[in-house]
Structures are given as C-alpha cells and as structure tokens.
Chain A
Amino acid sequence: MELILAIVVGLLYASGIYMMLRRSLVKLIIGLILLGNGANLLIFLLGGITKGSPAIIAPDQQMLTEIYADPIPQALILTAIVISFGLQAFAIVLIKRAYIVAKTDDLYQMNSTDVYS
C-alpha cells in the first residue's frame, strides 16, 4: 500500500508542478491545489499509516496503549487543509483581480508588472 501511496504522492507533485508551469492563470490554481493535496498526503504517509485504529482513547481506557495512528501528522494536516482553503480562496481572488487589472491571463504578459500599478 505504501508503495502505491508514494507513487500517488509523486504523481500529485508532478502534475501540480506541471500545471504551475503553464502560462494560464486557471491552471496555476489547479496546480496549487494538486500540490497542496500531494503535500498533505506526503506528511500523512511519512507519519506511518495504520489501519482501523484512530488515535481515540476507548471509553473505558485512560490512555492509548494498543497500536494507534500517529496523531501529530493528523493534527498538522488538519490545520493545513483548512489553511489551504484560505490560500486557495485568496489565490483565486488575486488571480481574478490580476486578470481584471492586467487584462490578460497569460502569465508571460503579466511579467511587466510595473505598468499596472
């Protein structure tokens, strides 16, 4: 399983990067989202994956003793997911705004930014 997951992570990174290298603004956002998903999965994978035993203490227990999924990467990813939503929203709006101001969505043409201040 880990092998396939690693391949999926690699795929997400590769496609994210590829989309970000395009000249179109919309593709840039899609690339960002794919890359973010890849990063989350990467952290998740590196924390070690465990099946069927979430880090939740059973009602009759005081602490986790059995095998349990590592809670730290989960806490990290949880905040990362929410933050990435904020980031995506901001990126989308920024790009929309840039599109309006620069009247182009070609990243190459946006290069000479000073004109549009």
Chain B
Amino acid sequence: MLGAILTGVIFALVLVFFGRFLKRRLAILFAAVPLGLFLYFSQYIKPIANGDIITQSVSWLPSFGINLDFTLDGLSLMFSLLITGIGFLVFLYASEYLKGHQYLDRFYGYLGLFMAAMLGVVLSDNVVTLFLFWEITSISSFFLIGFNNNDKASRKSAITALSLTGFGGVLFLGFSLILGSIAGTYSITEMLNAKELIVQSDYYIPIIILLFGAAFTKSAQFPFHFWLPGAMRAPTPVSTYLHSATMVKAGVYLLMRFTPVLGGPDSWHYTLLAVGGVTMVYAAVQIVSKTDLKAILAYSTISALGVMIFLTGLGTNKAILAASVFILVHALYKATLFLITGIIDHKTHTRDIRKLSGLRKVMLPIAIIGLLAALSNGGVPPTFGFLGKDLIYEAALESERWNWLLTGASVFTNILLFYGGFQVGVKPFIGDLPAKYEKITMPKPQLWIPPAILALLSIVIGIFPLLIQDSLVVPTLNALHVLEDELHLKLWHGFNLVLGLSMLTILIGLLIYFKMQPSDKRTALFTKYEPLSPKAVILKGGFYFKKFSFKWTNFFQNGYLRNYINTILLFLVFLLGFLLISHIQLKMNFDAMTDITFPELATLIILIISVLFAVITQSRLAAVAALGIVGLSISLIFLFYSAPDLAMTQFSIDTLTMILFVLVLYRLPKYLNLTNPRNRIKDVIIATTFGTLIALLALEVWQVTNNNEVSRFYAEHAYTLAKGKNVVNVILVDFRGIDTLMESVVLTVAAIGVFSLLKLRLHQKD
C-alpha cells in the first residue's frame, strides 16, 4: 500500500524532470497510473469481502509512536477505488480537455500528488501520518484551484480555500495529538480498545470540537462552505475530482472512521445532525439562485456533503448504510455532471444556463449521458440514485427523535437537488438550438467516454444493486462495526411510505423545474442578503484581522534597533525582576566564595577600567585598544581559574579580532554623536538596570547547588572510554563530537558569508 501511495509521488517527481517531453502527445498515457492503481486495489475486493483486513507497517519514528501504518478495510477500499477509478477517468479526460496547455505537466504533477495523498488519507491507520497526508491534499488543492495563476480571482479563491482547509488542518493536528496522548496510541485500530477511556475523558468535548473543525472545513460544511464555490475556478477536471468526488469527502471519511471510536455521546450526534442538516438545506436553497452550471453543481455538492454528515450524525445502522451508499451514488452522478459541464464549457465557452439550450441536436450522446446523470441525481427509478435516496428516507424515518422534522428536511433537500441536477443535466440540451451553436460537433472520445462510463454505472448498479452489496457495501459497514443482519439492496420495496416520499420528491422536483426558470430577480434577492452570509462575515473578520496584524507588526517591528532591544530588555527586566522580588530571597553566602589574591584583583580592576574606557572614549582606536585589553584580562581570568584551554583560545581570538579591527577600522565611519542627552540618560538607566539584574541573577544561580552528574560522568570516563586526559578536549572531539562538527560547519558558513558579502558585486538600480 505504501507502494501504491509512492507511485503517485514518483509519478509527480518524474513529471518534474521529464514532463516537458511527455506533455505534448503522450499525456493520455498518464492515465495508466491511476488505472494500474485501480486494478491493484480491485484485487483486494474479494479478500476484503471475505472479511480480511490487510495491514502494512513501516517504521518511521517508532520512538514517537509514529509509523507508516496502513490498513485496507472495507471503508478504505471503497474510497481507494473511488480515488483511483475516478482518477483514471479524470486523467483521461484532462488529457484532451487541457490539451496543449503550457503547464500540462505541472497539472498532472499536482493531480498525481493529490491522488497519492488522498490514498494516504484513506489508508493511514496512524493519525499523525493521516494528518500529513491530509495537509498534502489541502496543498495540492491550493495549487490546482490556482492553476490559472494569471487570473486574480483564481488566486484569491485558492488562498481562501487554503486558509480554510489549512485552518482545519491545524485543528486536526491538535485533535490527533490530544487524542493520541489520551488513548496512549496513535493507531486508529488500537484506539477502538480505548473507546471508554476517550469518551469519558475530560477532553472529549475539545477533541470532538477539533475533529469537527477539521472535517467541516474540509467537507465544506456551513459556515465554512464558501470556499467550495470559489474552488470552481479550477479547471473542470479538478472540480470533478477534488471538489466533488474525493477530497471534499475526506471530512466525511474522517467522521465515519472515527464514529466507532468517538460516537455515542449526544454531543457527537446532535452536532453532526445540526451542522449537516443546516448545510444540506442552506446549500440546497442557494441552488435556485445560481445560473452558472458549476455554481449549481458546487452548491449541490455542498448540500450532498451535508446529507452525508447528517446521516453520519444519525448514526443508526440504517443511516450509516445510507451514507455509505450515498457516497458512491453521489460520486458517480456528480462526476458525470461535472464532466459534461466541462464538455459544454469547452464547446460553447459559456456556463450560463440562460444562454444554453438545444445542444441535443449537435451532441445527442452527451444529452443522453446528462439525462441519465440527472435521473440518478434526482433519484428516479431504476437508477442507483433512487436506491440511495430510499435509504436516506428510511434512515430519517427510523430516527428515534424528530423523525418527521428530519424526514421533511431530507425531502426538501432532495427536491432542490433534483431541480439542480435537471438544470445541469437536462436544461442545456432541450429547447431550440441557438444559431451560433450549430457548428458544434461531438467532442473527442477522451471527453465523452469517462462521463458515459460513470452514467452507465449509475444505471447498471441501480438495476443490479447486488453487484456492490457484498463486495463493497457490506465490508464498509463491517469496517465501521455496523452489524446489519439482513441487508438487501433492492429497487422495489413494495408500496410503502418511503416510495410515496420518493415519488413526491420527483413530482415536486419536476414541477419546480418546469415552473421556476432561473431569473435575475431571484438572483438579486439572494445578492441582497449576501452581506449576512457566512462568507461575507468570515471574510470581513479576516479583513479586520489582517488590518490588526499590520498595526501590531508595525508597532513592534518598526525598524529601529533601539526599539527591539528596549522591548526585549523591558520584558526581561519585568519578568526576571518580578521573579527575583517575589520568589527568591536574596542572600549572600560569603563563606563559600573563593579567596581573592592580588593578581586577580588587579586583573579585574584593569578589566573594569578598560570596559568603562571603551564605552566613554570618543576615539575609535582607543575603544578598540580597550577592547583588546578587556579580552586579555578575560583570558587571564580563565587562566587563574583552571581553564587553560579557554585562556589560549581567548588569547588567540583576541589577537585576531584586533587585527580584524585594525584592518577595517579606518574604512569604517567615525563615531557619531547623534543621541540627545535625555535618551542617553534613559539608556544608561535601562542598561544599568539590566546589568544589575544579571549580576544578581548570576549570584543567586551560583549559590544553588548545581548537579554535577554529567560533568562527573565525563571526568570519570574521559580516559577509560576515550583515551584522553584533557577532559575539555575529549568532550569537544569525542563525547560531543557532532556538535563540534556542526560548529565548524557554522564557522565555514560565516566565512563564506564574509567572502560573498565583500566580493559580491553591487547591482545598484538607482
């Protein structure tokens, strides 16, 4: 499985180097990568249907409990097949859709990386690696949304999407770390055993808040949904793949995956029910105000995601079954609708449904595909969509509480989804053909075969649901620990309430489709309330936050060194001063101090005098000479107190520093006397306060008996282990050798810096 994930990464890497040569004619071959992966995953259908779970574990950071653990169970398999299967069709489609595009190689690179990361998300059993893959999907989505990077609106949408999904990513990281520390493991499988512990922990509420934040941003739930319509700026194959069929379902996947671990408490179920319910209704209502094909699809996707979350929140066996089936249903019909939207856009260069009509006369096969997808979308028998909708209504009706409210909301949503599907899949093809579209011909097979396959699947599975029942649906339920004894997916349940609701949905849907044509008036009505929408509110918040950060940064980072130093010092002085005054009793233990002899005293006095002289003098040369004396005195102090190595080093460095100064001194500017006396007095006070504080601190720390365990170890083992008698040198070259090695690297970098700073030619613009 690691191999499967790496394939996508390697594919992306290969494109970096060879993409230029391959993108012209051979782009269609790229589709072999997802196809191969699809076949690879299909071979597991049988073993997993028999109840096997395939695992793989590669050690990565075992000491942190972070490993590349992968688990392929029913749920993962269903998603993997979706990712690679739809991936194959999208890769194929894009080879024609973006034919000849300058950055086609880049495009496929991002797609490949995304596919790898998405597989990683659904296969990971370790929450930390899951988080990593999760982030890569956000990042590749960012690049794909902003693929037309010379379009300002694209870039803006990409950033909005990245900010929201990235924000969710941070929450996810918090979630995985807290959950991991409570459960004592990062493995999702092992967390199942710690369910009691987690659910009863005090951190349960924070944990689910973080998880919900991550899932809702990724799966575009209210009020974070608005990045998804913006993401429609991406080329249509991307919208199909990432923003409808796979990536946006990652949030749903996550919630389903963690249902066995975290599900149960009311807070879990009611939050999901509420957010999913609000999202599905809210987004469904938005559909009627849209006239752009992709905008309609975006809102209907958000609404469908809301349905999935809503079902996960219901949490009954029926509901989980409905959610699993609906994920498949939705992926099939929505991808089809997106792909034919792409064809329409490609051929007519517009996506405005008010301008499109009669296209069946030039593209009949496309019209049929569109109709099939719209039927599945609307839940008309005998499509797969009918099956999915039936299950949703059944689940809603069986709810223990508020079943009529929930059912009503579902029916309402489905009516509007029906309307949206017909607007996209049927409306552009009926009516009269405008003259300017008469020359349109059928697209190339690469464009129409992918949607055709998907549309056919919608019908075939609808008629023969047993095809997926035991191979995909049952294993998925098993993976979620849902035990459904008598599961029979079938079209005909007899005349009952659910069938009645289904028929009602279709009827009303048809009615509003024919009665309610898109109108500017309605769009205007929605625009009027736009400032109250979550998008406007959150973006406004973001705007003020940005303004605030500018002010904040400019206040602290104003470019004056004085200011930086003063800020740091004042903060330190207050912090340390407070601690010193409140917590530590100043005392002086004179007995423990070493005696002082005349040479030492003399050295110290010279040192003090030369420091003061260096500060006061107006001559640069005198200051440098004083500095030299300071260095020499310190070297003497080292010598007095048993540090011969230090004394020698300090002495040599002092010499070299003096040489350095002498070399550049006269090239350096003369002293300036720019500061006014008031500032100078202020500085003296600040500096003295800080110096006093350091001195006090030094004395206090010195009096604390320090733990010499490490030093003792070195002292005892320097000779026995490292055959050296100079312990300082043994530490440098043996015990802590890597530090020393790195230090010499740092020195080299400094020397290179000096060299390049001086030899670098100045490119002066003015």
Contact = CB atoms under 8 A, between A and B. Distances in A.
Contact of B650 (A59, A68, A70, A81): A81
Contact of A69 (B641, B653, B686, B698): B641
Contact of B757 (A25, A41, A82, A97): A97
Contacts of B728: 55, 71, 74-75, 78
A93 B754 contact: yes
A13 B720 CA distance: 40
Contact of B559 (A51, A78, A84, A113): A113
Interface in B225-259: none
B653 A85 contact: yes
Interface in A67-97: 68-72, 74-75, 77-79, 81-90, 92-97
A9 B696 CA distance: 10
B762 interface: yes
Interface string B561-577: 11001100100000000
Identify which of A61, A63, A97 gathers the most chain B CB atoms within 10 Å of its CB.
Answer: A63
Where chain B touches its partner, the secondary structure class is helix
B460 interface: no
B641 A49 contact: yes
Contact of A26 (B668, B690, B726, B732): B668
B608 A11 contact: yes
A88 B654 CA distance: 11
B740 A81 contact: no
Contacts of B762: 100-101
Interface string A18-54: 1111111111101001100110111011111111111
Interface string B486-523: 00000000000000000000000000000000000000
Contacts of A113: 559
Given A30-B614, A94-B757, A20 B565 contact: yes
A37 B649 contact: no
B642 interface: yes
A13 B691 contact: yes
Contact of B719 (A26, A30, A54, A63): A63
A84 B630 CA distance: 15
Interface residues of B, number: 101
Given A2-B702, A52-B642, A106 B674 contact: yes
A5 B743 CA distance: 28
Interface in B550-599: 558-562, 565-566, 569, 588, 590, 593-596
Contacts of A106: 672, 674
A9 B646 contact: no
B690 A2 contact: no
Interface string A94-117: 111101110001111001110001
Contacts of B757: 90, 93-94, 97
Contacts of B604: 4-5, 8
A57 B736 contact: no
Contacts of A62: 719-720
Given A18-B615, A93-B754, A42 B717 contact: no
A17 B686 CA distance: 9
A55 B727 contact: yes
B201 interface: no
B116 interface: no
B668 A6 contact: no
Nearest to B601: A4
B718 interface: yes
B27 to A, nearest CB: 41
A62 B562 CA distance: 53
A23 B743 contact: no
Identify which of A42, A100, A113 gathers the most chain B CB atoms within 10 Å of its CB.
Answer: A42
Contact of A46 (B559, B637, B696, B702): B702
B432 interface: no
Given A9-B695, A70-B711, A56 B641 contact: no
B128 to A, nearest CB: 34
B69 to A, nearest CB: 41
Contact of B669 (A26, A50, A88): A26
Interface string B280-294: 000000000000000
B668 A21 contact: no
B429 to A, nearest CB: 57
B619 to A, nearest CB: 11
Contact of A111 (B559, B695, B727, B753): B559
Interface string B138-158: 000000000000000000000
B611 A34 contact: yes
Nearest to B752: A90
B692 A10 contact: yes
Contact of B642 (A4, A21, A69, A77): A69
A78 B732 contact: yes
Contacts of A10: 691-696, 698
B594 A1 contact: yes
A114 B392 CA distance: 61
Contacts of B731: 71-72, 75
B627 A89 contact: no
Given A6-B699, A51-B640, A94-B757, A79 B623 contact: no
A90 B611 contact: no
Interface string B647-681: 00110010011001100100111011011000000
A53 B657 CA distance: 29
B750 to A, nearest CB: 3
Contacts of A51: 594, 640-642
B540 interface: no
A17 B608 CA distance: 16
A7 B732 contact: no
A15 B588 contact: no
Contacts of A41: 634, 637
Contacts of B483: none
B562 A92 contact: no
Nearest to A64: B715
A62 B717 CA distance: 9
Interface string B684-712: 10111011111110110110001010110
A68 B715 contact: yes
Nearest to A94: B757
A28 B561 contact: yes
A59 B747 CA distance: 34
B740 A90 contact: no
Contacts of A77: 643, 646
A12 B668 contact: no
Given A15-B687, A82-B649, A88-B657, A22 B675 contact: yes
A65 to B, nearest CB: 8
B638 interface: yes
Nearest to A17: B687
A27 B671 contact: yes
Interface of B: 558-562, 565-566, 569, 588, 590, 593-596, 600-601, 604, 607-608, 611-612, 614-615, 620, 623-624, 627, 630-631, 634, 637-638, 640-646, 649-650, 653, 656-657, 660-661, 664, 667-669, 671-672, 674-675, 683-684, 686-688, 690-696, 698-699, 701-702, 706, 708, 710-711, 714-720, 725-728, 731-732, 736, 739-740, 743, 746-747, 750-751, 753-754, 757-758, 762, 765
Given A44-B646, A45-B698, A72-B731, 18 more contacts: A5-B637, A9-B695, A10-B693, A12-B691, A13-B687, A17-B569, A21-B687, A30-B627, A33-B627, A41-B634, A48-B706, A51-B594, A57-B718, A81-B649, A89-B750, A93-B758, A105-B669, A112-B559
Interface of A: 1-15, 17-28, 30, 33-34, 37-38, 40-42, 44-59, 61-64, 68-72, 74-75, 77-79, 81-90, 92-97, 99-101, 105-108, 111-113, 117
19 contacts: A14-B688, A55-B715, A57-B725, A57-B726, A64-B727, A70-B711, A71-B714, A71-B715, A72-B711, A74-B645, A77-B646, A78-B646, A79-B740, A86-B746, A87-B750, A88-B660, A89-B751, A95-B668, A97-B757
